[in-house]
Chains A and B, each alone.
Chain A
Amino acid sequence: MEEKQTRLVEAAPQIHHPDSTAKIMWTVSLCLAPAGIWGVYVFGIRVLAVLGVSILSAMLAEYGMARAAGRENPLGDGSAFLTGLLIGYNLPPAIPYHIPVLASLFAIVIVKWTFGGLGRNWMNPALAGRVFVFFSWTGEMTNWTMPRTMDAADTVSGASVLGFIKSGLIDYQGSARGPMEFLRGSGYPQSSADVRATEWLRGIFGEGVPGGYWDLFVGNVPGSLGEVSALLLLLGAAYLLYRKIITWEIPVSYLLSFSLLVWIFGGFDFNAGIFSGDVFFHLFSGGLILGAFYMATDMVTSPLSRRGMLIYGVGVGFFTFLIRIYGSFPEGVSLAIILMNIFVPMINRYSTRRIFGVAEEKGSSV
């Protein structure tokens, strides 16, 4: 037995779960891909260029920072790629190219590396990058492109659904009892597929169903280039849940608490009273699905324990609701997640478990 070459001599355990950091990051990226491809399809090939720019700048920044810190090339772990991808997904399709560059640089250099790189940042880098450019270039960040699948493809730019409603409701005197009726009543464009889908829905739920849900669900709406297709994002999320790369606690507690609040209080805007908010509309509009499954679940910036995750999810749901319905911004997902990021260390400190063989109270802080 002579071959004494590259035998690994590690400490126990000698075998590992197949998930490694790199595998997790690349799998998440892969699950995001369908929604991005949809973005390219409906908003045009420029989307690909925006994504390329945001990913490349994130990776270059990561490489440069790692080199400066004297570390090995970290690009293989996929985390910079994922950050760049998520930044791209959160930008309008027509965004000027310098903005993704700056968002990625901010995310990687300021948010991630001033704290020491992967695993050390307390704030979600992609969201921080997005919020940074949103406040610096608000005009560019709210300049939306109409998807080609909509019957208003000639209107090249328009308002996002949420933005349209937010501004439309300021002095609203009409009779719409919900956001969908409002959109239809205001002549907001609709795809022909949605017209057919609505007819089908009316067959089941009655004539009162307003058009627009189908467009919202599959992504025939203007919005950030990777966030519009709730359907494809959910598909990817289902795989992540199945592979146990994300767990159900954060998305479910987030979506549930948000839905509940919207259902209870969301109707007031339309003078429709309590318990009449349009939950489906709010679930599938804006960046909620992208945020709930792919960004609030970021391991580094979310709590450690399952219980902590539930608390965190409820918090994000609450803040999203608050900002979206009562704030001056139409969205709310990014800010809500970042807000809750701040509370994570506290949540971790207070969700303790009992150590085996130790009588109550004294526990390890989780």
Chain B
Amino acid sequence: MKGTKTYPKGGVHPPDSKSRSEHKALKNALIPQILTVPLAQHLGKPAEIAVQVGDEVREGTLLGKSSGFISAPVHSPVPGKVKEIRDVYLGNGLKSPAVIIEMEGEFDRSGKEQERHDWRGLSGEELLQLISESGIVGLGGATFPTHVKFSIPKGKKAELFVVNGVECEPYLTIDHRLMLEKTDELLEGVEIIQKIIQPERIAVGIEENKPDAIEVMEKRISERGMNIEVVPLELKYPQGDEKLLIKAITGQEVPSGGLPIDIGAVVSNAGTVYSIYEAVVFRKPLIERFVTVSGGAIKDPSNLKVRIGTSIGDLIEECGGFSEVPEKIVVGGPMTGTAVYDLDTPVIKGTSGVLALTSKEVKSSRRTACLSCGRCIEACPMGLNPTILFKLVDHLKYDESLDNGLMDCRECGSCGFVCPARIPLVQGFKLGKRMARKKKG
């Protein structure tokens, strides 16, 4: 597409593999009998347990209280009984205490006409409070608590608000479907955010492989008379990364070690905006999210609205099960997601996709020594030198790796994608960051 914007350096072009699910309308997933709701679903402190085994809960009952500013509450996705509280492994490989709920009794919301609340009379603070109480976090995968992001620090100003509709991860199509099917809800969500952070300018970034979404959004924006710019972006991974998206739209770079707000920008993923809409208009906490179930080994790829705590196995079964033996089951997108072993892994707030990938899609091969081919350098959108960075981390030279920009790594996986030697670069950087932080104390 002509006139599309992008960031200047690096990036990769994995097959986008979206055709499997991009034409499938959003639909509600079946609600399972048992749900596993972890307390650590977001970046920051895990929620504090607020129920006991045997408690009766309703849809939306608080299961875990927010335990600090950078934290978020967790709510019950279904009515039922707290059956058990125990540690589980999450899709991201971390362990978290979880509330196991056995569904029973009547739903307060599902299947009923929901009452609309008029929010226009509320102040920005009150809206922020609602978002905070509803447990909204960034649904693009980062799961950073949204109320923190929207609390603009003193002395700073939100000049630009960006709705991230890029969805650059291959396979995932939920944001695409949202923009097509829930256009007005999204735009009302933007109005709510507008009221909270009062940006001077609003933009929606959409990759050029979703021309229908670009068209629909543009049409509804002008029909509603809103002053929002739809920015078509070049198809290039990781275009949806916050820092790169801002660079593409404004040409400005978030300073190393800084946050978007440092240059007056706030970015929220389309799914997050939709959840904000539901939280504010229907006073509905974040108990559901959209998930793309796809991959070459899934019989009937779908875009589902899923209760938090549903197991990925249930979702796969709902999508017709496996059409062939998958080589990998991935929670999240293929570039940043985690491969899991256990089909009981629950869907959490950050779960954007469940993928069953065949060996043809994965293209794994044996790890070899680094060939010094430089492809990782070409691929890195941050201007880093992944091969050297990896060697530094591997040799525990954390100070030197910090000097070489370890903390600037976005963990986007572009370098790992292209590496012919299949060196676990991103894994090394994640570990290196953790160790370097520990060392600094």
Chain A contacts to B: CB under 8 angstroms:
1, 3-5, 7-24, 74, 76-77, 116-120, 299-306, 309, 353-358, 363-366
Contact = CB atoms under 8 A, between A and B. Distances in A.
Given A13-B426, A300-B371, A304-B374, A356 B381 contact: yes
Contact of B362 (A15, A24, A354): A15
Interface string B143-178: 000000000000000000000000000100000000
Contacts of A299: 371-374
A306 B373 CA distance: 10
Nearest to A72: B366
A77 B321 CA distance: 36
A304 B387 contact: yes
B366 A77 contact: yes
A357 B8 CA distance: 13
A1 B320 CA distance: 12
14 contacts: A4-B341, A12-B337, A13-B413, A15-B334, A17-B418, A17-B420, A20-B421, A23-B365, A116-B369, A299-B372, A354-B383, A364-B385, A364-B405, A365-B385
B378 interface: yes
B416 A12 contact: yes
A76 B366 CA distance: 9
A34 to B, nearest CB: 24
Interface residues of B, number: 75
Interface of B: 9, 12, 14, 170, 243, 247, 253-258, 313, 316-317, 321, 325-330, 332, 334-341, 343, 355, 357, 361-366, 368-375, 377-378, 381-385, 387-389, 404-405, 408, 411, 413-414, 416-422, 424, 426-427, 430
A19 B371 CA distance: 12
Given A7-B326, A13-B416, A120 B369 contact: yes
* 6 tightest Cβ-Cβ pairs between the two chains A and B: A119-B369, A13-B413, A20-B365, A11-B427, A304-B374, A357-B256
A357 B313 contact: no
Given A10-B424, A357-B408, A364-B388, A16 B362 contact: yes
B361 A15 contact: yes
A358 B327 contact: no
Contacts of B363: 15-18, 20
Given A19-B418, A119-B421, A355-B256, 18 more contacts: A1-B313, A7-B326, A7-B328, A8-B364, A12-B411, A13-B414, A16-B363, A16-B364, A17-B12, A17-B418, A18-B363, A20-B422, A304-B385, A353-B385, A357-B257, A358-B408, A364-B385, A365-B385
A74 B357 CA distance: 27
A126 to B, nearest CB: 15
A16 B415 CA distance: 10
Contacts of A77: 366, 368
Nearest to B355: A14
Contact of B389 (A14, A302, A356, A364): A364
Given A13-B426, A14-B357, A16-B362, A8 B327 contact: yes
A230 to B, nearest CB: 26
A312 to B, nearest CB: 12
A21 B420 contact: yes
A13 B334 contact: yes
Contacts, number: 197
Nearest to A116: B369
A355 B328 contact: no
A16 B388 contact: no
Contacts of A119: 368-372, 421
A5 B325 CA distance: 10
B421 A3 contact: no
Contact of B385 (A10, A18, A117, A366): A366
A365 B392 CA distance: 12
B243 A8 contact: no
A299 B430 CA distance: 27
A353 B384 CA distance: 8
A13 B383 contact: no
A356 B426 contact: no
B368 A357 contact: no
Contacts of B378: 306
Contacts of B368: 20-22, 74, 77, 118-119
Nearest to A353: B383
Given A304-B387, A353-B383, A358 B337 contact: no
B377 A305 contact: yes
Residue of B330, B373, B426, B430 with highest tally of chain A CB at under 10 A:
B373
Nearest to B313: A1
Contacts of A364: 383-385, 388-389, 404-405
A76 to B, nearest CB: 7
B177 to A, nearest CB: 22
A366 B381 CA distance: 14
Contacts of A116: 369
Contact of A19 (B243, B343, B382, B420): B420
A118 to B, nearest CB: 5
A11 B257 CA distance: 25
A356 B253 contact: yes
A357 B389 CA distance: 18
Contact of A357 (B254, B340, B357, B374): B254
Contacts of B408: 355-358
Nearest to A364: B385
B355 to A, nearest CB: 8
Contacts of B419: 16-17
B170 A15 contact: yes
Given A8-B328, A77-B366, A17 B417 contact: yes
A18 B362 CA distance: 9
Residue of A19, A120, A309 with highest tally of chain B CB at under 10 A:
A19
Contacts of B414: 13
Contacts of A363: 383
A114 to B, nearest CB: 15
Nearest to A24: B420
Contacts of A16: 362-365, 416-419, 422
Given A303-B374, A353-B385, A364-B388, A14 B365 contact: no
B171 to A, nearest CB: 9
A300 B372 contact: yes
Residue of A22, A353, A364 with highest tally of chain B CB at under 10 A:
A364
Contacts of A5: 325
Nearest to A20: B365
Nearest to B415: A13
Given A1-B317, A16-B363, A357 B424 contact: no
B307 to A, nearest CB: 19
Contact of B366 (A18, A22, A309, A365): A22
Contacts of A18: 363
Contacts of A357: 243, 253-258, 382, 408
A357 B357 CA distance: 35
A4 B430 CA distance: 28
